[in-house]
Amino acid sequence: MTNELSCDVIVVEDDIIQCEEMAGFLGRAGLAVETAYNAAAGLRKAVALQPRVALLDFNLPDMTGVELAEQLRALLPSLSILMMSGRIDGLSEHTLSRLGISVFVNKPLPLGPLRQAVLKLVRGDTTRHSDQQHSKGWLAAGVGGTRH
Protein backbone atom coordinates (compact mmCIF):
# COMPACT_ATOMS: atom_id res chain seq x y z
CA MET A 1 0.00 0.00 0.00
CA THR A 2 1.10 3.55 -0.61
CA ASN A 3 0.27 6.85 1.00
CA GLU A 4 -1.98 7.58 -2.00
CA LEU A 5 -4.44 5.19 -0.36
CA SER A 6 -4.65 7.36 2.74
CA CYS A 7 -7.54 7.35 5.17
CA ASP A 8 -8.89 9.72 7.81
CA VAL A 9 -9.38 7.17 10.59
CA ILE A 10 -8.22 3.68 11.46
CA VAL A 11 -10.30 1.67 13.93
CA VAL A 12 -8.40 -1.13 15.70
CA GLU A 13 -10.89 -3.35 17.55
CA ASP A 14 -10.86 -7.14 17.92
CA ASP A 15 -14.64 -7.41 18.15
CA ILE A 16 -15.36 -7.55 14.42
CA ILE A 17 -19.01 -6.51 14.72
CA GLN A 18 -18.17 -3.51 16.92
CA CYS A 19 -15.29 -2.57 14.63
CA GLU A 20 -17.44 -2.64 11.51
CA GLU A 21 -20.28 -0.74 13.23
CA MET A 22 -17.92 2.06 14.30
CA ALA A 23 -16.31 2.18 10.86
CA GLY A 24 -19.69 2.34 9.16
CA PHE A 25 -20.94 5.06 11.51
CA LEU A 26 -17.82 7.18 10.96
CA GLY A 27 -17.92 6.47 7.22
CA ARG A 28 -21.48 7.83 7.01
CA ALA A 29 -20.06 11.12 8.35
CA GLY A 30 -17.95 11.35 5.19
CA LEU A 31 -14.73 10.00 6.69
CA ALA A 32 -12.46 7.50 4.93
CA VAL A 33 -12.17 4.68 7.48
CA GLU A 34 -10.00 1.56 7.59
CA THR A 35 -10.30 -1.28 10.09
CA ALA A 36 -8.00 -3.79 11.76
CA TYR A 37 -8.89 -6.56 14.20
CA ASN A 38 -5.54 -6.79 15.97
CA ALA A 39 -2.62 -4.52 16.82
CA ALA A 40 -0.19 -5.94 14.25
CA ALA A 41 -2.61 -5.35 11.37
CA GLY A 42 -3.48 -1.93 12.76
CA LEU A 43 0.17 -0.94 12.93
CA ARG A 44 0.84 -2.10 9.35
CA LYS A 45 -2.21 -0.26 7.98
CA ALA A 46 -1.50 2.91 9.95
CA VAL A 47 2.08 3.10 8.70
CA ALA A 48 0.96 2.49 5.12
CA LEU A 49 -2.06 4.81 5.14
CA GLN A 50 -0.98 7.49 7.65
CA PRO A 51 -4.44 8.33 9.01
CA ARG A 52 -5.12 11.52 10.95
CA VAL A 53 -6.87 9.61 13.78
CA ALA A 54 -6.48 6.14 15.32
CA LEU A 55 -9.29 4.73 17.44
CA LEU A 56 -7.75 1.93 19.51
CA ASP A 57 -9.32 -0.67 21.74
CA PHE A 58 -7.38 -1.07 24.98
CA ASN A 59 -7.77 -4.88 25.08
CA LEU A 60 -6.40 -6.36 21.85
CA PRO A 61 -5.42 -10.02 21.38
CA ASP A 62 -1.75 -9.43 20.52
CA MET A 63 -0.87 -6.39 22.68
CA THR A 64 -2.61 -3.68 24.66
CA GLY A 65 -3.89 -0.51 23.07
CA VAL A 66 -1.28 1.38 25.10
CA GLU A 67 1.53 -0.72 23.60
CA LEU A 68 0.11 -0.09 20.13
CA ALA A 69 -0.23 3.63 20.90
CA GLU A 70 3.46 3.74 21.91
CA GLN A 71 4.51 2.23 18.60
CA LEU A 72 2.17 4.45 16.59
CA ARG A 73 3.37 7.58 18.42
CA ALA A 74 7.00 6.73 17.58
CA LEU A 75 6.21 6.18 13.88
CA LEU A 76 3.47 8.79 13.36
CA PRO A 77 4.06 11.64 15.82
CA SER A 78 1.20 13.83 14.54
CA LEU A 79 -1.41 11.06 14.76
CA SER A 80 -4.36 11.78 17.07
CA ILE A 81 -5.05 8.72 19.20
CA LEU A 82 -8.32 7.86 20.91
CA MET A 83 -8.39 4.94 23.33
CA MET A 84 -11.56 2.98 24.10
CA SER A 85 -12.26 0.27 26.62
CA GLY A 86 -14.90 -1.27 28.78
CA ARG A 87 -12.24 -1.66 31.48
CA ILE A 88 -9.66 0.89 32.60
CA ASP A 89 -7.76 -1.26 35.10
CA GLY A 90 -4.13 -0.21 35.09
CA LEU A 91 -4.68 2.70 32.71
CA SER A 92 -3.46 5.89 34.34
CA GLU A 93 -3.86 9.56 33.53
CA HIS A 94 -0.06 9.73 33.29
CA THR A 95 0.07 7.01 30.63
CA LEU A 96 -2.62 8.67 28.51
CA SER A 97 -0.94 12.06 28.79
CA ARG A 98 2.55 10.69 28.07
CA LEU A 99 1.33 9.06 24.86
CA GLY A 100 -0.63 12.12 23.78
CA ILE A 101 -3.91 10.21 23.73
CA SER A 102 -6.51 12.81 22.83
CA VAL A 103 -9.63 11.19 24.26
CA PHE A 104 -10.47 8.13 26.34
CA VAL A 105 -13.88 6.65 25.53
CA ASN A 106 -15.73 4.17 27.71
CA LYS A 107 -17.53 1.25 26.12
CA PRO A 108 -20.28 0.93 25.22
CA LEU A 109 -19.39 3.79 22.94
CA PRO A 110 -21.58 6.88 22.68
CA LEU A 111 -21.46 7.01 18.87
CA GLY A 112 -22.68 10.59 18.43
CA PRO A 113 -20.06 12.19 20.70
CA LEU A 114 -17.42 9.80 19.33
CA ARG A 115 -18.16 10.96 15.78
CA GLN A 116 -17.97 14.62 16.87
CA ALA A 117 -14.60 14.05 18.56
CA VAL A 118 -13.19 12.20 15.53
CA LEU A 119 -14.44 14.85 13.09
CA LYS A 120 -12.80 17.60 15.16
CA LEU A 121 -9.50 15.72 15.23
CA VAL A 122 -9.58 14.92 11.50
CA ARG A 123 -10.32 18.56 10.68
CA GLY A 124 -7.64 19.78 13.08
CA ASP A 125 -10.14 21.74 15.20
CA THR A 126 -8.36 20.73 18.42
CA THR A 127 -4.80 20.26 19.56
CA ARG A 128 -3.47 17.01 20.98
CA HIS A 129 -2.60 18.51 24.35
CA SER A 130 -5.30 21.08 24.98
CA ASP A 131 -5.11 22.71 28.40
CA GLN A 132 -8.86 22.41 28.84
CA GLN A 133 -8.86 18.62 28.40
CA HIS A 134 -5.76 18.16 30.50
CA SER A 135 -7.04 20.26 33.39
CA LYS A 136 -10.13 18.02 33.71
CA GLY A 137 -8.08 14.84 33.66
CA TRP A 138 -7.97 12.47 30.70
CA LEU A 139 -10.17 9.77 32.19
CA ALA A 140 -12.82 12.30 33.21
CA ALA A 141 -12.77 14.54 30.13
CA GLY A 142 -14.55 14.62 26.82
CA VAL A 143 -16.69 11.62 25.97
CA GLY A 144 -14.75 9.39 28.35
CA GLY A 145 -14.77 9.13 32.05
CA THR A 146 -14.14 6.72 34.86
CA ARG A 147 -16.21 3.58 34.83
CA HIS A 148 -17.42 1.96 38.05
Query: Does 147 map to a domain?
Result: no
Range of the domain at 82: 3-140
Domain assignment present for 77:
yes
What tens-digit pLDDT sequence spans the chain (148 residues)? Answer: 344 567 999 999 999 999 999 999 999 999 999 999 999 999 999 999 999 999 999 889 999 998 999 999 999 999 999 888 776 555 656 666 777 776 666 777 678 888 888 998 898 865 444 333 433 333 334 444 433 3
pTM attached to this predicted model: 0.76
Return the SS3 of 22: helix
CATH code of the domain covering residue 123: 3.40.50.2300
- CA–CA dist 146, 56 (Å, integer): 17
Structural domain count of the chain:
1
